[in-house]
Structure 1
């Protein structure tokens, strides 16, 4: 692979005496130094911990744990749910998501970014597929009586994730309660309560 075939989104960054290419959060590595381990990952057979408050475990398979994905524009996630487990409202700023249900029954949906904020939802069973457009708020809830499993394919090596409640109420340092109180039109005591809660990170 040579530089002229890399995506237009690349940024040049000076590091020491030589220029390197910065690709969606990662430096471009010399392919001559790659080994088979740069294209390998072996944790998806290990059950994740779904005993947390969300009843959820997400195992990401992206450029952070498979360096060989750099510049390839794809990644994967294994999502495991306890009964009533929730992958809470979040967005991927850099990726479309395609979800495939392997086991269980899920209620999923996304909200459009238009002024009407349309909600698109569907109940998915084993073998069903659903698409979440890039950047839109979406969620997945296990509505079955047993554990559920899904795979998510994402159109970025490093899709990024913003978990809505964590970003708003769990920011560091905390957002000014006056801002949130006016924004959500609730008493400031409600905001103070929400900011003191522990917001579970639903992505590993």
Structure 2
């Protein structure tokens, strides 16, 4: 009897202890400015030493208010990307931003954003925008958008 109770207790403890709870850990610091000169590349870019961080690591004159030339592009669009490679203060935040200029009939070729969200704001003109869900239904959401916002989440 004692032996069967011990076996049941062992099985119960093994089942209870095998459960897993997963989440992204809380940040260990307020910011992690990318050290682009470091040869280390593990899960992104390492952090600069805090005493080496400068105010310009957090600011960028990106000129996103100025239209870009679309005439040299085969798809008649021009993407100006702001990410950690241009703005080191974005490191570990999971944030990037882009301005896309379209010529008439311009396109942004199909693409994915694993574990990311995209928000488009149409300032002038109109866009035909959409996305396909990644669940088994592969539902297609599409809309002709004029001077409004469009958002979609790409979760994998």
| TM-score clears 0.5 | yes
Seen in structure 2, the aligned counterparts of structure 1 residues 124 and 95 have a Cα distance that, compared at 3 Å, is same
**Aligned twin of 2:58:** 39
Tell me the SS of whatever aligns to 1:37.
Answer: helix
**Aligned twin of 1:179:** none
**Aligned twin of 2:46:** 27
Measure, in 2, the Cα distance between the counterparts of 1:58 and 1:93.
19
The runs of 5 or more residues in structure 1 that have no matched partner are: 8-14, 137-204
Is the 1:91–1:135 contact (alpha carbons within 8 Å) kept by the matching residues of 2? no
Q: Tell me the TM-score normalised to structure 1 length.
A: 0.53
The runs of 5 or more residues in structure 2 that have no matched partner are: 1-26, 32-37
Structure with the greater alpha carbon radius of gyration: 2
Tell me the SS of whatever aligns to 2:78.
Answer: strand
- Larger strand fraction of residues: 1
Larger displacement relative to structure 2 (56-65 or 69-78) = 69-78
Q: CA deviation at 1:4?
A: 2.4
Measure, in 2, the Cα distance between the counterparts of 1:30 and 1:95.
28
Q: CA deviation at 1:132?
A: 1.8
Q: Tell me the TM-score normalised to structure 2 length.
A: 0.67
Measure, in 2, the Cα distance between the counterparts of 1:99 and 1:114.
22
Number of residues paired by the alignment?
122
Q: CA deviation at 1:50?
A: 0.6
